[in-house]
Amino acid sequence: MDYNNNNEFDRDDLQTLIHDYDSNGDNEVTVAEFEFHFDMAEPTLAIVAKALFAEYDDNEDGFIDTKDLDGVHDRMDHITKDGKIDHDEFVAYYTELLTLLYVLQSQQGQA
């Protein structure tokens, strides 16, 4: 996920993430653009896609764009809160996120 390989996950890397999903190049990632990258016919992936979109759409306006990056960045910079996301913070953030996804997925399985 450290796209520019500077050994730090920072806003540039988050920007690249938007760029990767933004099919029509308007600097906003819609739900449709985001879900295009997932196999939505697969229930597990559909849950993951929706949960990830909700996570990245920090201001909940239905688009992922640069306005959402600060919120996501702040949530990731949660251990040292020094404006940088180090390896421990990156791992802790994604461990937590994946745990949440796992819980959602098993709840779905019981339904």
Which residues of this protein are in contact with Ca ion, per CB under 5 A? 22, 24, 26, 28, 57, 59, 61, 63, 68, 77, 80, 82, 84, 89
Task: State the minimum distance, in angstroms, from the CB of residue 109 to Ca ion.
Answer: 30
Q: CB–CB of 86/104 below 8 Å?
A: no
For residue 41, the SS3 value is coil
The β-bridge relationship of strands 63-64 and 29-30 is antiparallel
Q: Which is nearer to Ca ion, 39 or 88 (CB)?
A: 88
Task: State the minimum distance, in angstroms, from the CB of residue 21 to Ca ion.
Answer: 8
| Residue nearest Ca ion (C-beta atom) | 80
d(CA 93, CA 68) in angstroms, rounded, equals 16
Q: Which is nearer to Ca ion, 54 or 98 (CB)?
A: 54
Q: Which is nearer to Ca ion, 19 or 84 (CB)?
A: 84
Here the tokens at position 102 are 């796992």
Here the tokens at position 13 are 């890397």
Amino acid 54 reads: A
Q: Which is nearer to Ca ion, 20 or 39 (CB)?
A: 20
